Amino acid sequence: MAHCDDCEQMMQPYLDGMLSDEEVAEARAHLKACPWCERRFKFEEKLRHFVAVAVAATEPMSDALRIRLSELRSSQT
């Protein structure tokens, strides 16, 4: 993976555990070498954790919250 665009496309599948071992190694190498993508990845990872904890502790996520989280993701790119 030579470019940040490739990293962005692989980020969600990486977080979902859907990449091959080769793709995981490639993604990790890019994250290690690219501070911007590493910050983006950490943000996504923390966001997923927050949402998982919030959803487990409260009622189902509203459509408004889903939209707001999507907007936050978009503003990070």
**For the chain, domain boundaries:** 4-76
Mean pLDDT over each residue of the chain, to the nearest integer: 82
Identify the DSSP state of 16.
Answer: T
60 has pLDDT over 60: yes
Give the model's pLDDT for residue 56: 67
**More confident call, 75 vs 37:** 37
21 has pLDDT over 90: yes
Mean pLDDT for the stretch of residues 15-23: 90
Each residue of 28-52: pLDDT tens digit? Answer: 998 999 998 999 899 989 888 888 7
The 10 Å CB-count burial string (b at 16+, else e) for 21-47 is eeeeebbeebbeebeebeebbeebeee
**pTM exceeding 0.75:** no
